[in-house]
Amino acid sequence: MTIDNAPRTATQVNDFSVKLANVNGTGSASANSLLMQAIFRMGIPVSGKNLFPSNIQGLPTWYEIRVNKSGYTARALDYDLMVAMNSQTYAEDINDVRHGGYVLYDSSWPLDPELLREDVTFLGVPLARMCLDHFNAPRERILMKNVAYAGVVVALIGIDIDLVANLVSETFARNEKLGASNQMALRLGYDYAKENFDCPLGFHVEPMDATKGSILIDGNTAIALGCLYAGATVSGWYPITPATAVMDNFSRLCARYRREAVPGPTPDSEVTYKNNYLILQAEDEIAAIGMVLGASWSGARSFTSTSGPGISLMSELLGFAYYTEIPAVIIDVQRTGPSTGMPTRTQQADLLLCAYASHGDTKHLLLFPANPAECFEFAVASFDLAERFQTPVFLLSDLDIGMNDWVVPELTWDDNFVPDRGRVLDDSDLAGMAEFFRYANADEDFVTARTLPGSDSKGAYFIRGSGHDKYGHYTESPVQYKEVVDRLKAKHAAAAQHIPAPIVERRPGAKVGVITLGSCDLAVREALDILAEAGVAVDYMRVRGFPFVADVRGFVEEHEYCFVVEENRDAQLRSLITMETGAPIEKMLPILAYGGFPLSAKQVIDGIVTELENKR
């Protein structure tokens, strides 16, 4: 069986990809996202994937722009145009271009003839020389080269130059001089391309109306927004790639929306302000989660943001929170492990770590957002779940979602939203009670009522990570100990019904299925559409949280077998499904992408097709 997943024609309108190869720390990132943003503003579905090193300056970095009129914006693996701006990686970059594609390079220096390919068109632009001629400051000469190549690309792929010029004006509204330099560099590149090349190329953009009502947003910003809207007031955190921007954005948003002006005593006196939030940069992730537990115990909505190494450090207190039933929201923007791993590369390899974080019998609630829109929605939901079930909730994003800009429908908010603060007794509730016991009188979800510090002494109790009975008292009795931990197990299971349900899409006649999660979503959907066109019907299920509802096992059982697509080496989602639902592991075939780059449809198709052929 052969599946052609990239049909190419002479003209590919709004269906191509560009890869830009740069040296990090030279200012290329803003030029690259300028191109992506311009295409978005032309109404065309687009994605930008930043494939960057864990480094500040001098190492290779890439940016991939995929334009697709049908909305398939997962990572593409063949490139129509390579913007080769890094001589260190010329060889591999030129090799990456598809047959019949183009390479844009800086012709200020000659290209080594050994690098030339017969089947590729080389477009040389003397970018460095142009910038040398037009700009004086050394730093500006380097920076403006990026904007100049962006100008070339604008001409080559037919982006509306006025629209780009407007974007530049918006960006540099407060710095006229820098704005003028950028405009000049943009025109230098654009005019050169117009004069010297046959613009636009066969693959190019034409205006559409497909991004109306959509926004460009990264997952870390969306999570920060969700935490703001959920009413989080206290956070504890420790800087870590790729999660740092969650707290940076939360801090920025709080400074804007949570700061109240306090007028001075007289009209002339200075206006001070008060902050309805407190962000604590901790000494380590252990302290960060400790702060979250302290604040949550006290009735504030509180969260931390981290990545895998941080979860490892937090584990002891996460088990503490599970056993003592303290709400906590933990944002894990996953990166490539194990150990330090590859901090600027993506993976979904913290599933099992988070599901069972800590020693002893411990189970947590997990949410798997697939894109920034779900990051916002699930961030809000995670606070409700944490307080409803009085337990840690993990929001498992990843670097691809967190640090790349995605096109998603505009975020909406219901002003009637009332946060679910869970079962909390206040003094009037306590007054009506004969006695209060922390872990007694469970509701239908096996949740018991808590009190907050500061409430009447009748509601005072002692939180302890040591063995306790349902009254909250210390115990070493097997019966009393088991009564509490058995309820915790039932409570965890009950939460399944309150977690976002799996998304299921069925195709007529499908005998096999795919189960996936998180950011694999787009690539898997694209793969299944391509397979369907080739006559291979495959059903789709995307799980959106843990514990799993019964439908997950049902989906496995109703198919001959299922592919489980995930971004880790050990098929962690498959293990989790088997362990927690009893679904037969032999019916689940792993398709694993764990090299650190976002998944592409090609990897999914290759995995499925290989297996289908083996089964014949």
Partner 1 sequence: MTSITKPLIPLAPLAKNDLGLTIRDYEGAMSTLCAGCGHDSVTAAIVYSFWELSTPPHMIAKLSGIGCSSKTPTYFVRGAHGFNSAHGRMVTIATGANAANRELTYIGISGDGDSLSIGLGHLAHAIRRNVKMVYVIENNGVYGLTKGQLSASADIGTRAKRGEPNEIAPIDPIMLGLAMGATFLARSFSGDKEQLVPILKAAVAHNGLALIDVISPCVTFNDHEGSTKSYRFMREHEVKEVQTDFVPLRTEIHGRIPSDGTTEITMHDGSVVRFGSVPEGYDPSDRQKVEEYIRDRHSRGEIVTGLLYVDESAKDVHELNHTPAEGLNKVPYSKLCPGAAELASMQASFR
Helices assigned H by DSSP within 332-456: 351-355, 372-389, 399-403, 427-431
Q: What is the dihedral of CA 57, 58, 64, 65, to 10 degrees?
A: 60
Residue 315 or 336 with smaller CB distance to partner 1: 315
Residue 95 or 275 with smaller CB distance to partner 1: 275
* 545-546 and 365-367 beta bridge pairing: antiparallel
Alpha-carbon distance of 338 to 350, in angstroms, equals 9
Distance of CA 48 to the CA centre of its chain: 13
Alpha-carbon distance of 86 to 106, in angstroms, equals 9
Residue 124 or 419 with smaller CB distance to partner 1: 419
Residue 293 or 396 with smaller CB distance to partner 1: 293
Residue 82 or 293 with smaller CB distance to partner 1: 293
DSSP bridge partners of 274: 260
Residue 72 or 229 with smaller CB distance to partner 1: 229
Least distance between partner 1 and beta carbon 585 (Å): 35
Is residue 348 classed as helix, strand or coil in its secondary structure? coil
> Which token pair is 107?
């012709």
Residues 170, 241, 88, 68, CA torsion sign: negative
Least distance between partner 1 and beta carbon 488 (Å): 18
Least distance between partner 1 and beta carbon 253 (Å): 8
Alpha-carbon distance of 270 to 274, in angstroms, equals 13
Short-list 1, 74, 66, 62, CA closest to 39: 66
Least distance between partner 1 and beta carbon 359 (Å): 11
> Which token pair is 460?
């005072």
Least distance between partner 1 and beta carbon 549 (Å): 30
Residue 276 or 610 with smaller CB distance to partner 1: 276
Least distance between partner 1 and beta carbon 41 (Å): 7
Least distance between partner 1 and beta carbon 37 (Å): 8
| Distance, first Cα to last Cα, the chain | 11
Residue 427 or 557 with smaller CB distance to partner 1: 427
Least distance between partner 1 and beta carbon 120 (Å): 35
Q: 323: which residues sit within 8 A by CB, 6+ positions away?
A: 360, 362, 465, 485, 488
Does 419 sit behind a cis peptide bond, omega within 30 degrees of 0 on the bond before it? Answer: no
